[in-house]
């Protein structure tokens, strides 16, 4: 795959596909983490004299944080110390004129790419290539740089559509992500421990199936809703309130699949031995084997318990490789952050190589100032897809582009 160092961008028009999709509250972006992650690539291109066209998406149609990229332009301008002009268009005449008018070292950011209907659907590279978005912009672009690792598991026009038309290179963030994830997945160092939490249960089951079947993991620790599903699969009842909630969000149908994983790979999947609930306004920890578990009928589980944190911590501190995705509970409530913070602190204290990803995981790491983690991935879904053994469309597009243009690089 092409890297930034493979090209001289001076005076050339470069389309940089970034992923600046950020959390928004009351109409304002509340985290600039993804902006800072892509900043080295943006600076390199501008310092190299590129005419820079930045594209990103923000959320999905009809969601509360689906908005324009006007504030994205403001934040990026502040971080760079130079103007990144917001262009209220994507591939129409106004956008194309703005692209044509760029001077070396100048940058613009296009409107939210998902305002274009073509960008919503997942289509094969060949179909993405034929979209209006690609056909309108390709004649104006010399190079494409893809630094949107968090969207690498998606096949959409802005992400893969230029691959056979223009040389496409990895940005610094993309290169760093691929290097870290490849090291964690391909290493022979042992023990290799995966921590699967959060709410992306089906994705986590795919990861568990793949890494256990292919000998990439020695142990899997579970928490969050992933832990709930595996606990049910082991035959423990988690109470009426928790069962009803899991049924409502469609998780009960995954219990049989989790049971199959346990049948095939027992005892390599560990589940919590105790949980925490909100009982009369306070955190109450309940052992899974105690009579107090009757309280699960009326009180939802909000975290793993202290004994589980201790057991997981002992395992993690001795691990040589750790891959973690998703929190252990509702960490947004401080009294129920104990599990997530305890597990992530243990990962940070381990001398092994660690990769942690997922939006909620990252949020908890920054919120509670957890240090020592080797690599914090910007992509939750993309990271899970990678460790599931799936081919990521953006990485495949980068390979296609390399094969097409390598002789002229």
Q: Is the dihedral of CA 368, 369, 373, 379 positive or negative?
A: positive
Positions in the chain short of pLDDT 70: 409
pLDDT of amino acid 362: 84
Eight-state DSSP code of residue 390: P
Q: Burial letters for 108-141: b for 16+ Cβ neighbours within 10 Å, e otherwise? A: bbbbbbbbbebbeeebebeebbebebbeebbebb
Q: How far lies 207's CA from each of 218, 247, 351, in Å?
A: 13, 22, 24
Strand extents, DSSP E, 229-291: 269-270, 274-279, 282-287
pLDDT of amino acid 33: 86
DSSP string, 115-156: GSGGGTS---HHHHHTSHHHHHHGGG-SEEEE--GGGTT---
Q: What are phi and psi of 108, to 5 degrees?
A: -130, 160
Eight-state DSSP code of residue 299: S
Per the CB < 8 A criterion, the answer to whether 316 and 253 are in contact is: no
pLDDT of amino acid 214: 96
* Domain boundaries 2-170+391-408, corresponding CATH code: 3.40.50.1260
State the Cα–Cα distance between residues 167 and 401, nearest whole angstrom.
Answer: 6
How distant is the alpha carbon of residue 120 from its chain centre?
18
DSSP string, 310-373: HHHHHHHHT-SEEEEES-SS-TTSGGG-HHHHHHHHHHHH-SSEEEEESHHHHHHHHHTT----
pLDDT of amino acid 409: 62
pLDDT of amino acid 27: 87
Helices 338-349 and 359-367 pack at an angle, to 10 degrees, of 80
Give the pairing of strands 282-287 and 274-279.
antiparallel
pTM > 0.75: yes
Q: Residue 80 contacts by C-beta under 8 Å, 6 or more apart in sequence? A: 39, 42, 43, 46, 107
Q: Which two tokens stand for residue 179?
A: 């290097």
Torsion, Cα 4 8 9 10, to 10 degrees, reads 150
178-378: what fold? Rossmann fold (3.40.50)
Strand extents, DSSP E, 237-319: 269-270, 274-279, 282-287, 301-304
DSSP string, 169-230: EE-HHHHHHHHHHHHHHH---S-EEEEE-SS-HHHHHHHHHHHHHTT--SEEEE-HHHHHHH
Q: How far lies 199's CA from each of 221, 337, 381, in Å?
A: 15, 15, 11
Q: Is the dihedral of CA 16, 181, 391, 260 positive or negative?
A: negative
Instruction: Name the residue with tokens 């970034």.
Output: 18
pLDDT one-digit tens code per residue, 347-404: 999 999 999 998 778 888 888 899 999 999 988 899 999 999 999 999 999 999 999 9
Domain ranges of the chain: 2-170+391-408, 178-378
What do you get for the CA distance between the two ends of the chain, in Å? 11
How distant is the alpha carbon of residue 213 from its chain centre?
23
Sheet of 219-222, strand order: 269-270, 219-222, 192-196, 321-325, 353-357, 375-376
State the Cα–Cα distance between residues 396 and 393, nearest whole angstrom.
Answer: 5
pLDDT one-digit tens code per residue, 145-204: 999 999 999 999 999 999 999 999 999 999 999 999 999 999 999 999 999 999 999 999
Nearest to 265 by CA among 324, 208, 309, 182: 208
Per the CB < 8 A criterion, the answer to whether 42 and 107 are in contact is: yes
How many other CB atoms sit within 10 Å of the CB of residue 252? 14
């Amino acid at each position: 795959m092409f890297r930034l160092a493979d090209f001289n961008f001076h005076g050339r028009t470069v389309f940089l596909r970034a992923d600046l999709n950020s959390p928004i509250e009351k109409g304002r972006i509340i985290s600039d983490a993804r902006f800072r992650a892509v900043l080295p690539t943006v600076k390199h291109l501008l310092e190299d004299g590129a005419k820079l066209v930045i594209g990103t998406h923000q959320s999905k149609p009809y969601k509360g944080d689906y908005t324009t990229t006007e504030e994205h332009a403001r934040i990026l301008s502040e971080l760079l110390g130079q103007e990144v002009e917001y262009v209220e268009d994507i591939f129409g005449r106004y956008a194309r004129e703005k692209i044509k008018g760029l001077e070396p070292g100048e940058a613009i950011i296009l409107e939210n790419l998902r305002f274009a209907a073509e960008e919503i659907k997942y289509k094969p590279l060949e179909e993405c290539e034929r979209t209006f978005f690609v056909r309108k912009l390709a004649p104006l672009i010399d190079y494409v740089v893809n630094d949107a690792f968090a969207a690498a598991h998606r096949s959409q026009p802005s992400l893969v559509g230029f691959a056979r038309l223009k040389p496409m290179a990895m940005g610094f963030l993309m290169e760093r992500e691929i290097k870290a994830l490849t090291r964690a997945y391909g290493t022979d160092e042992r023990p290799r421990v995966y921590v699967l939490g959060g709410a992306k249960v089906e994705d986590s089951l795919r990861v568990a199936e793949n890494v256990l079947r292919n000998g990439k993991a020695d142990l899997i620790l579970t928490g969050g809703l992933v832990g709930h599903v595996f606990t049910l699969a082991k035959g423990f009842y988690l109470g009426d309130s928790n069962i009803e909630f899991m049924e409502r969000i469609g998780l009960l149908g995954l219990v049989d699949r989790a049971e199959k994983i346990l049948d095939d790979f027992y005892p390599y999947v560990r589940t919590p031995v105790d949980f925490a609930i909100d009982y009369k306004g306070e955190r109450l920890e309940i052992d899974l084997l105690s009579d107090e578990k009757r309280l699960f009928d009326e009180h939802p589980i909000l975290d793993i318990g202290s004994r589980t944190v201790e057991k997981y911590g002992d395992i993690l501190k001795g691990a040589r490789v750790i891959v973690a995705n998703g929190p252990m509970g509702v960490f947004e409530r401080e009294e129920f952050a104990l599990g997530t913070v305890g597990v992530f602190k243990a990962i940070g204290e381990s001398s092994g190589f660690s990769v942690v990803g997922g939006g909620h995981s990252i949020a908890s790491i920054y919120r509670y100032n957890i240090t020592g983690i080797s690599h914090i991935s910007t992509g939750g879904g993309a990271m899970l897809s990678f460790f599931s053994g799936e081919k990521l469309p953006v990485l495949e597009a980068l390979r296609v582009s390399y094969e097409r243009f390598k002789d002229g690089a």
